[in-house]
Amino acid sequence: MDNLRDRGNIKWSTMMLPEHRKLLQQLELSQEEESCPELTEDRWEEIQYIIQEAMGEGVEVTLTFFADKRFKHFTGKVKKFDPLRQTLHVVGEDEYTYPISVASLVDAVHASRREFFE
């Protein structure tokens, strides 16, 4: 009875055209995509306060931002805000400075408090 295992889509792959495989891969990727939420004014003020506090104290903050149709998390110290480009310059664990667009921000939490909530 063990010889009769269902192989799912693998059994059909030999009968599929390359175009069909490509369309199935695109469909699978599109189902994993997420949409960027709209933040309220109160939530924006909260995020700004957390970032300003982290900059002033020099503590790490975990930023959640939306990029490439996915939510991404980055933990580091916010060094400066570039008002012209509307970006935060965040220094990661590798001591490299990463620019993060303010428009893509979704959440900000002090890194020490993030462990408490998880």
What is the domain-level CATH number for residue 82? 2.30.30.520
* Domain presence at residue 36: no
Global pTM? 0.67
* Domain presence at residue 89: yes
Q: How many domains does the chain have?
A: 1
DSSP H or E stretch at residue 113: helix 111-117
Q: What pLDDT, on a 0 to 100 scale, did the predictor assign at position 3?
A: 56
Q: What pLDDT, on a 0 to 100 scale, did the predictor assign at position 6?
A: 61
Mean pLDDT, rounded, for 43-63: 92
* Domain presence at residue 73: yes
Per residue in 38-73, is it b (16+ CB within 10 Å) or e — as a string?
A: eeeeeeeeebeebbeebbeeeebbbbbbbeeeeeee
Complete DSSP assignment for 29-54: HHHH---PPPPPHHHHHHHHHHHHHH
